[in-house]
Each structure stands twice: as structure tokens, then as C-alpha cells.
Amino acid sequence: SKSLGNYVGLGENALSMYSKLEKTPDRLLEQYFELLTNLPLDELPQEPRDRQKLLALNIATQYHGETGAKEAQNAAAQIIKTGFTAAADAVPEFSLANVEFPAKLFYILKVSGLCKSSGEGQRLIKDGGVKLEGDRISDVDLTFDSPAPLDGKVLQVGRKKFIRLMADS
């Protein structure tokens, strides 16, 4: 549920879905397996961490196919080990054609869906929760005159939300 902070949207990209499900609390794992998969409970791994990974992979496969789920699993592992750069290929793309330039970064955060409002985007930047190509952004008024300097770069909010910005020619 959204109010409990354990919401996983069915329309989310594979990486977001996998990452959220991989953090399922141990006490809920058996219930999630029973309700959301066809896997026999007596054949599940003993280790909770292995169960979390299996649950995340199984459910991500249901919504994104085996290839998408495996890519998400590999990307999530790379993000944990080395940060986003090694996993950048699995990051969903966002077309900057949807943005009117010049544009402030907090506006791009809102339009791309990484946050719900410009105000939230400003707070995220102030609090150090926004990175562009792995570099923390602290300037709330950072403005881009055109999409060119953003083309192909990965924008990150928090630890789980990523998009690749694409300037359409």
C-alpha cells in the first residue's frame, strides 16, 4: 500500500519493480509468494535474501518478461556494487521533447515523473537527493537552455529512481 511505503506499481519499469520487491520484509515473503506466484512454498530458498531476489525476479518476469526481469536483476546488483554507471543500459528513457526549454532541473524532475511537483523537486535537490550522471546536484535554480547538455545522461532521484534523458533530433 502507498501509505505503508511498500507500494509497487504494475506499470513501473522493470528496474524499479525489481528493486522495490527485492526489499520485501522477511515477515511478508511467504505471504507474497503464496498470493503473487505459482511457486511451491516448500521449494523456496531458506535464506531470506535469496527469497527476496527470487520473489523480485518472479514478479518482474510476469510483467516485463524474462529478459527484462534478468536485466533489471543484473542492473540492481550493479547499482548496489558500483553505483548507476555500470547499470545505465537498463535505465528507462525519457524524451526531452516533452520539456519546454529553457527549463529548471526541478521542472524536468516533475515532467519526467521522478517527483510529483516542482516543489517536491526543489526539496529533493536541496536535500541532496538528486544526481545527474552520478554527480549530486545542489543548485535548486540549475537551468538548461536546451536539451543538448542533458542528452544521454542519467538523472537519479534517491536510490531507486532513474531515467536516461534523451534529446530527440
Span 101-144, pLDDT tens digits: 999 999 999 999 999 999 999 999 999 999 988 889 999 999 99
CA-to-CA dists, residue 115 to 55, 96, 111, 123, angstroms: 27, 16, 8, 10
Higher pLDDT, residue 110 or 77: 110
CA dist., res. 62 & res. 136, Å (int): 34
- Is residue 74 very low, low, confident or very high in pLDDT (cuts 50, 70, 90)? confident
Which CATH number does 93-166 carry?
3.10.290.10
CB 24 within 8 A of CB 79: no
Q: Is the pTM of this model over 0.75?
A: no
CB 126 within 8 A of CB 109: no
CA dist., res. 53 & res. 23, Å (int): 9
CB 33 within 8 A of CB 55: yes
CB 26 within 8 A of CB 48: yes
Domain with CATH 3.10.290.10 in the chain: 93-166
CB 140 within 8 A of CB 106: yes
CA dist., res. 163 & res. 60, Å (int): 18
Q: Is the peptide bond before 48 cis (omega within 30 degrees of 0)?
A: no
Which amino acid type is present at position 5?
G
